[in-house]
Amino acid sequence: MTFNGRTLLVTQSVAILTVAKDFDFFYFVQQWPGSYCDSRRGCCYPKTGKPAEDFSIHGLWPNYVDGSYPSNCDSSNPFDDSKVSNLESVLQEDWPTLACPSGDGLKFWRHEWEKHGTCAESIFDERGYFEAALSLKKKANLLHALENAGIRPADGKFHTMGQIKDAITKAVGYEPFIECNVDSSGYHQLYQVYQCVDASASNFIKCPVYPHGRPCGTEVEFPSFSSASSRDEL
């Protein structure tokens, strides 16, 4: 009986370790292309052409509630573009690369899957990772949320951080974290929006902890992307 009890205890311990969570929640991060390009480093439009004037996906990142995060969790499962081949047109629209030199997006998507996606293999495979992010982008609809509050892309027009956060909170239900960058004139501009998502990558939640992104000033520009130029055009 003693042996059986110990066996049961060991079995239960193994089971507990097996189902232990790999992470606690996700950051879903979108970036504003107008701010990405309107900086000292500039941008290069993807080979498919200039993206639409809309927020684009940066990534879906597993995180822990203590502020740390896992990364590069499975080197045996590298990015395989054939698994997302019939998603490529949507990814090029909603998850475009703006890095230089111009690319087709594969390098960007590979980085995001291998660094972040492999740490969430407990809930989805490679294709599921990208599908989850695309679904969250539609659900958030950030540009629509801001425009409904009268906040539209425009050069030289500034908004308070409160106005921007309130607009997104009203639409989504939870306050985002806003990261800013600085344009060539030294003005703070809306760069990235972090939203917290539950561990199933299905629903937005209140952020357990906010990231340590670049801070914003009291007033922030939401620059136009339709008038922006890439380094290739300069």
Residues with active-site annotation: 58, 112, 116
Q: Where are the beta strands (DSSP E) in 22-68?
A: 25-31, 56-63
User: Alpha helices, DSSP H only, in 47-125?
Assistant: 88-94, 106-115
- Between helices 161-172 and 126-140, what is the axis angle to 10°? 110
E strand or H helix at 118, and its extent?
none
- Is 211 within 8 Å of 194 (Cβ atoms)? yes
E strand or H helix at 134, and its extent?
helix 126-140
